Structure 1
Amino acid sequence: MSRKRPRYGDDNDGDSLPRSSPLGKPRTRDDDFWFEDGNIVLVAGDVEFRLYQVPLIRRSPVFRETLSMPQGDGISIAVPEVKLFDHPSDIRRLLGGIIFGSDLRFVKGDPDFTTLSSLIRMGHKYQVEDVVEAGLEYLRSFYPPRLAHDEGMPDGPPNFSKRDHIGVVNLARLTNSPDLLPVAFLHCCMLDPRELVKGIEREDGTTETLSPDDLATVLIAREELIKADALDCLYILDVNENCCSVEECRETLMEVLTSSIAVQEQRSFSADWREPWRPFLEKIGAVPCEACIEGIEVNEETRLEELCGRWPKIVGLE
């Protein structure tokens, strides 16, 4: 954001002639935030926002400081103009949070990542803390601080894409919110490494990727998930001590092992969150005796609980 003095121009001249952006494109007035009796004009890119100063001053220390700077040259102008170096869509969303409330009620339904990221980033930049907190609270409802072995893989926000979890990691870093990272890292581990490197494209055309350190963390964590999955697959060969048909179950479990590592099944030796064994056994039609199945489930729960307990250390949070 500019720390220079706001620029002023004749308000009447501005209404009769189309003003231009620094790139020479004619400016346009924003459809949602142009109030004819507003007393400040914010310019982002080639879009103008005419607003009232009071809400900006009350809600944002950054705007308060900027708008209190000397107007210079002794020239008295009714409507000052402030140049912002942000994408117009980012400013539009921030103004929605400032003017209409910070609890996301101005966002219809569940926000997509672009909207939520914009609110948190701009709220952080302009120090509108309640906008930031509203966005983080929404994220916390999908990114719990710890993995629970008995609750399955946490679902991400409904309108987020798989790659948007990359951005969640970055928002957690930006706002010093490490409680979001365990599940955000886990979601990133499910991505193809090529998708991780590719990142996500923002509205302004820039690409958002993980930092080198966080990318390394995800790749190392993926190795741990693959290793745990491979061991889980090997443990299935253990026939339960209460088995009533040892040879038959041993043959069945060997068949399960062969099926589980087949390319078309994708059950094991991957970083994906593991599907429980029982439905998989039923799906492939290779079901051992009930004692063996129960033994498999007990071992499965024990190993998953151990993995969840180690997860903060695996991703560098402990």
Structure 2
Amino acid sequence: MDDTIPAGFEVVELEPKRVIDLWFEDGNVVIQAEDYQFCLFKSFLTTRSPIFADTFSIPQPEEAERINGCPVLRIHDSATDAAHFFKAIFDSETFLPPPTQTTFEKVAAILRLSTKYEVGYLRKRALAHLSSGYPTTLAAWRADDPGLNTATFPVLPSDALATINLAREVACPWVLPTALYDYVKSTGPSEIFSGTLQDGVLLQLSAADKRLCLEARETQREASKDLETFLTALIPEDCTSADGACLSSRLVWMRYLNKLRQDGFWLDPTEVWDHWDVFGTHVCTPCLLECEKKYEDARQAVWLSIPAMFNLPSWSELEAERRKALEEL
């Protein structure tokens, strides 16, 4: 089977290739995407897409290309996207709403084409899935508790670049802060500038997004310093350490974190620090609680600043836009 069509789709090796799962013998239109053909039903497509309805309303000349008496419509979409999209239309069980699990590839394909062909119910479903992986609250974004993690697909840093371009294309800006943040965190300046080779295809950001990401790298590095200030939290009155032991321990940790940052590693403000247990063995309980509170306050402040890093509206505005988009459809 050719690897340009999603796994699980059976293909007849003709030229062009026929996608058996979406080749209905009594279909009345053949749609071709790249080198793959789908024999489908006009009436089914027209009831779901005003774009297809308009296209099919145009009279075809007698000499127009036909296969088994069916007119052939060529679309300028990838075969992978078309396969996922048409499968979702003709077999709704293959793309159910959240919390049903899915894949990023399927969500991206269906969101892209449901937007292009104005299939409202599928766009809403795909937006809900994408939003589950890129939420607008810190608690949901970095949820360690599986009960709070609502993502319906694996959210991988390697998909961040594709997510950014997709969000720009289909107008869902509320996923951009976290996608951009993840991309910047895991990508060096040279790769941001030159793009990423993925499955033999060079993916690149727009020139404007490249500039944003290159500037945001330094902003994110500086933000990590804000989190380190938890080590300078006031010594509480009920500190139980003797001879300034807690203060001395904090200074040791501060030197350690400064060294990590100089070596290119820094605290990620969106993640819960995973060294509290060890840190707690070096300071008393009141100091530990005071440091944890200051760290969490700084973490929340950095989270609130992330949209502005990328010239985006505030989280509350983005969340309002998300709600409106899902309610309108």
The TM-score normalised by the length of structure 1 is 0.77
2:119 paired with 1:128:
yes
* Percent identical: 22
Report what 1:256 is aligned to.
253
Task: Pick closer, same or farther for the CA change 1:151–1:64 going to 2, 3 Å.
Answer: closer
Report what 1:61 is aligned to.
50
CA drift of 1:209 comes to: 2.5
Q: What is the distance in 2 between the residues matched to 1:281 and 1:100?
A: 49
CA drift of 1:263 comes to: 4.1
Unaligned runs of 5+ in 1: 1-19
SS of the residue 2:73 aligns to: strand
Q: What is the distance in 2 between the residues matched to 1:151 and 1:45?
A: 39
User: Which amino acid is 1:38 matched to?
Assistant: G
How many pairs are equivalent?
Answer: 289
Report what 2:176 is aligned to.
181
2:76 to 74, 85, 97: 85
Report what 1:15 is aligned to.
none
User: Which amino acid is 2:244 matched to?
Assistant: E
SS of the residue 1:69 aligns to: coil
1:94 to 85, 93, 107: 85
Contact preservation (8 Å) 2:97, 2:125: no
Q: Which has the higher helix share?
A: 2
CA drift of 1:106 comes to: 10
Contact preservation (8 Å) 1:261, 1:267: no
SS of the residue 1:80 aligns to: strand
SS of the residue 1:236 aligns to: helix
- After alignment, is 284-293 or 118-127 more displaced? 284-293
SS of the residue 1:43 aligns to: strand
Q: What is the distance in 1 between the residues matched to 2:134 and 2:102?
A: 15
Structure 2 counterparts to residues 195-210 of structure 1, below 5 A: 196=192, 197-199=194-196, 201=198, 205-210=200-205
Task: Pick closer, same or farther for the CA change 1:264–1:180 going to 2, 3 Å.
Answer: closer
Q: What is the distance in 1 between the residues matched to 2:234 and 2:113?
A: 58
Q: What is the distance in 2 between the residues matched to 1:259 and 1:281?
A: 14
Unaligned runs of 5+ in 2: 1-12, 144-148, 314-329
Deviations for 1:84-131, whole angstroms, at most 9, x for unmatched residues? 222222211111122123881399x63322221111111122222222
Q: What is the distance in 1 between the residues matched to 2:282 and 2:207?
A: 45
2:309 paired with 1:314:
yes
Contact preservation (8 Å) 2:270, 2:303: no
2:102 paired with 1:111:
yes
CA drift of 1:264 comes to: 10
Task: Pick closer, same or farther for the CA change 1:112–1:253 going to 2, 3 Å.
Answer: same
2:153 paired with 1:162:
no
SS of the residue 2:18 aligns to: strand
1:247 to 240, 244, 260: 244
- After alignment, is 154-163 or 135-144 more displaced? 154-163
Q: What is the distance in 2 between the residues matched to 1:225 and 1:74?
A: 61
2:288 to 286, 293, 298: 293
User: Which amino acid is 1:87 matched to?
Assistant: S
Q: What's the Cα RMSD here? A: 3.4
Contact preservation (8 Å) 2:226, 2:298: no
Contact preservation (8 Å) 2:167, 2:176: yes
Report what 2:35 is aligned to.
46
Deviations for 1:125-180, whole angstroms, at most 9, x for unmatched residues? 222222221111111222223x33x6662566543431212222222222222222
Task: Pick closer, same or farther for the CA change 1:111–1:255 going to 2, 3 Å.
Answer: same
Deviations for 1:7-45, whole angstroms, at most 9, x for unmatched residues? xxxxxxxxxxxxx9xxxx822221111112211111222
- After alignment, is 173-182 or 215-224 more displaced? 215-224
Deviations for 1:174-230, whole angstroms, at most 9, x for unmatched residues? 22222222222232232122554533636xx54332222223323333322221212
2:183 paired with 1:192:
no
2:220 paired with 1:220:
no
Contact preservation (8 Å) 2:227, 2:269: no
Which structure has the bigger radius of gyration?
1
CA drift of 1:64 comes to: 1.4
1:143 to 134, 137, 156: 134
